[in-house]
Structure formats: C-alpha cells, structure tokens
Amino acid sequence: MSTDAKKNTSGLGARRASLNILSSVLRNNQTLDNAITNAFLKANLDERDAGFARAIASETLRRFGTLESLIGKFVRKPPMPHKAGPTLEILLAGACELLFLKTAPHAAVDAANRLAQEDSKAVHFKPLINAVLRRLTREGEAVLESLDSVNAAMPDWMWERVSSHYGEEIARAIAEVHLKRPPLDLVFKTDDDPLMLLLEGERLAPGCVRLAEAGKIEALPGFSEGRWWVQDFAASLPAQMLGKVNGEQVIDLCAAPGGKTAQLASKGANVKAVDISKERMDIVRRNFARLNLSAEMIVVDARDWRPEVAAPFVFLDAPCTATGTIRRHPELPWIKTAADINAQESLQRELFDSAADMTACGGTLVYAVCSLEPEEGIEQVEAFLARSPNFVREPLRPDEVPDAAFISAAGDLRTLPHHWAAKGGMDGFYAARLRCCV
C-alpha cells in the first residue's frame, strides 16, 4: 500500500467518527461535546485523527447554514434520512473539507464515497455524493462567494430575534464572530503568576490570558500544577460583581462546571457549591483537586435546599438556552428552537426566588445567564424585583469592568459575542447585581 493510501485509510476512521458526531447532533439533538465523547469511546482514534474528526464536525456545524445553502444549489431536494441514511451528513462534511478545511479534493471525495459504500442506505446515493462533491471542487468557491454566509450563520428564527433585540448591524457582527473558531482563555489562580508572561498570548485582564492557538490543553505549561483553568473571559466577569469575598461565605448555585466556583475559591471565599448533577459536580471535584482549591460541594436541587444561615453573597448562574456561547458551541443554533427560550422560564424564576431566600439582610445576590435572550436575562430580573420589594438593583460602576460597553442602560452586565471582535470576541453574558435591603 502506498503512503498516500495509508494516509487516506487512517483518515477514514477520523471521518467516520465525524459522521457519527454530526448524525448524533443533527438527528438526535445531542450537544457537540457529548456527541464527541460518545463517538470517541467507540472509535479508538489516535490523537491526530481525533483532532481531525473534531475539526470536521465542529467546522461543519459552525458553517452549517452556509453548507446547507451551498448543497441546495446542487441538490434540489435533500435526501430523507429514513431512505438515505447519513447521505446529507456525508455531503455536509465533504463540502466543509473542500471549502473550509482545504483538504485535498481527491482525499475528501474518495473518503465520502467510502463512507457511503459502508452504509446500507447511503450506498444507493453514492453517485449523487460523488457528483455533488466533484462539482464543488470545480464550482464551490464561486457559489460560496454568491452566498450571504453571515446571514446563514443563524437559522431564521434566531436571526429574527437577534436583529429585533439588538439591531441588524449588531446581529451581523455577532454572526461574523460565530463563524470564527474561538481562542482559548485561561484564568489564573493568582493575578501576578509569572507564567502569564511566558505564554504566547494576550493578557485581557489581570489573571486572564488569551491564546490564539493552544493545542492540547493538558500539555500547556501550568496545567498539571493547577495554576489556571479554562474559562471564557466574559464568563469570568459575573462572579467579580460580588466584590471582595475574601473570608466571606458565598453560595454558588448551579455551580458546575465550576469556573466561577474556582474564581471565588481562589479569591479566598468560603464557597458552598450547589448543583443538581452528580456527574457534573464530579468534574468540579476533579478540577478542584488539580487546582488545589477547596469548596463544600453539595449535590441537590437548589429549590429544595437552604443553608443553616443565610449568606452575605449568593451567586446564581441559572440554566438557560446558552445562546451567548455559540462561538464555543456551534451546534446550538441547529438543535434549539424559539420554543426553547421559554422552556426554562419557570425553573429560572423558582431558582431566583430560592437564591433570594438564601441571601442575608444587606447581602448581595448576582443573577447570571450565558444567554442573548431578554426573557432569560433582564426580563427575569425585572419580574423578580416586581415581586421582591426587599431587593434593589445595584448598578455596575464603569471602574468595575474593563470596558464601559459591557454595562447596559439599566446598569447590568451585558456582553455580546462581537465585543472585542478584533481580539477574538467573547461569550454573551447577562448578569444583574441585587442587594437585599431589609
């Protein structure tokens, strides 16, 4: 077997895994992270092939709207899964390889044909797959230039909502950031760790470094010593709204995966971390063991739990649609619908009220969501204040954030994905600081 043939054969395993990932996401609404984990458990890939599979799946989902429109130019009616199996996924991944990953055309087309040959349904569509991908090698770039890739970065329901709430110009700016692979942000346990100067990255704020290219996280300097954790820059801002917490009791609700918990513990807070999921809390425990940090971890539904004594600081990172995190979770626009936005409204309200019960007189409560949706952010806060006269909003001051653009008209935190776009953007977060005044 020739060297090229061996490379193609080994690459087939990666492509097979990426196909399983895409089918799990697009057909079964799995999250990308879960789909990758499950596919890799079955695939037994080496590090290089695992990286290739991840790149194909992630970039295909990041460019899904564009790829779907592109394929629609050559296939009048998409093949139905019950008849065609993974034919559409093969086409999407093949087109992504050709036009965005810049794979050698012969390798991408040959692999797509092999994948079709392996499936009892897709094999009947092998001529179609071959013809479409070969046309894309010749005509794909020209057709791509004719498409509005920015508009296609969101499904219609999401585009309409973002445009309505933020304006079309900002909607396009957000979509443009969604189309780019995000950098990696590291938050250090101490703001003056000298390792920050050695890493080839950009210091966004004290204790936060952004790396454009990181490679394997576990191989980065300082990982095994527990000197930092991975956390998007915007995600690090809400916990800072609590102010000085050294030596203070802090209740962190819906704590997993634990980035904000680590922030609070590293600042010297006595943290009670509460989360309903044992599996997710186990991840927090493992991270804390690596970081050599401590917190009391409680696995329980926060609506059913109360501390023995109310706390001076309570932080609620409420479950939400997570539409502010699409940069890092490109599958979200395609597995969510507009109906999902109101699905957790009652849960958010109940958790909000529970958090208020845990807040001591004169204490601070911060409510946060990684969402772009007003229903999950400011509307929840306004409704809470209307039914809770013993709480008042405590607006952010300009000196509390690195950019005044992060403060909303109401004085709340409101980051958007296109903020600091030249630096790589950030997640969309909303957070409000409230004080118990009774």
Q: Are 260 and 369 in contact (CB under 8 A)?
A: no
Residues 6+ apart with CB under 8 A from 317: 238, 252, 253, 254, 255, 260, 368, 369, 370
**Locate tokens 């009892």: which residue?**
120
CATH of segment(s) 232-436: 3.40.50.150
Q: Is 320 a catalytic residue?
A: no
Query: Alpha carbon of 73 to those of 65, 113, 136, 147: distances in Å?
Result: 13, 20, 10, 10
Residue intervals of the chain classified under CATH 3.40.50.150 are 232-436
| Cis peptide preceding 257, ω within 30 of 0 | yes
Residue 119 amino acid letter: D
Going from the first residue of the chain to its last (438 residues), give the mean pLDDT of each consecutive group of 10, the final group possibly shorter: 42 95 95 95 91 96 96 87 91 97 95 95 94 95 94 95 97 97 96 90 94 88 96 97 97 96 97 97 96 97 97 98 96 93 93 98 97 97 97 97 96 98 97 93
Q: Both tokens of residue 15?
A: 């492509």
**Locate tokens 């879960």: which residue?**
34
Rounded to 10 deg, the angle between the 378-387 and 345-357 helix axes is 50
CATH of segment(s) 3-147: 1.10.940.10
For the whole model, what pTM was predicted? 0.93
Torsion angle, alpha carbons of 75, 81, 83, 88, to 10 = 30
The 8-class DSSP code of residue 256 comes to T
Q: Are 355 and 253 in contact (CB under 8 A)?
A: yes
Distance between CA atoms of residues 160 and 46, nearest Å: 42
Mapped onto helix, strand or coil, the DSSP state of residue 410 is coil
Mapped onto helix, strand or coil, the DSSP state of residue 270 is strand
DSSP string, 348-408: HHHHHHHHHHTEEEEEEEEEEES---TTTTHHHHHHHHHH-TTEEE-PPPGGGSS-GGGB-
**Locate tokens 């991908």: which residue?**
133
Mapped onto helix, strand or coil, the DSSP state of residue 423 is helix
- Give pLDDT, residue 13: 94
Distance between CA atoms of residues 343 and 261, nearest Å: 26
**Locate tokens 């920015």: which residue?**
150
Distance between CA atoms of residues 398 and 414, nearest Å: 13
The correct CATH number of 183-230 out of 3.40.720, 3.30.70, 3.30.300, 3.30.450 is: 3.30.70
End-to-end CA distance of the chain: 78
Q: Are 355 and 349 in contact (CB under 8 A)?
A: no
Strands 430-436 and 359-369: antiparallel
- The number of CA neighbours under 13 Å toward the Cβ of 281 is 18
- Give pLDDT, residue 10: 56
Q: Both tokens of residue 174?
A: 């957000």
- Give pLDDT, residue 200: 85
Return the number of other C-beta atoms located less than 10 Å from residue 50's C-beta.
Answer: 18
Distance between CA atoms of residues 313 and 328, nearest Å: 29
- Give pLDDT, residue 255: 97
Q: Both tokens of residue 166?
A: 């933020």
Q: Both tokens of residue 67?
A: 């790829």
Q: Looking at 208, 320, 370, 436, which residue is catalytic? A: 370
Q: Which of 35, 85, 42 is nearest to 60 (CA)?
A: 35
Q: Which of 418, 405, 423, 408 is nearest to 170 (CA)?
A: 418
- Give pLDDT, residue 111: 96
DSSP string, 194-247: THHHHSSSEEEETTEEEES----GGGSTTTTTT-EEE--TGGGHHHHTT---TT
Residue intervals of the chain classified under CATH 3.30.70 are 183-230
Residue intervals of the chain classified under CATH 1.10.940.10 are 3-147
Distance between CA atoms of residues 210 and 391, nearest Å: 37
Residue 225 φ/ψ, nearest 5 degrees: -80, -5
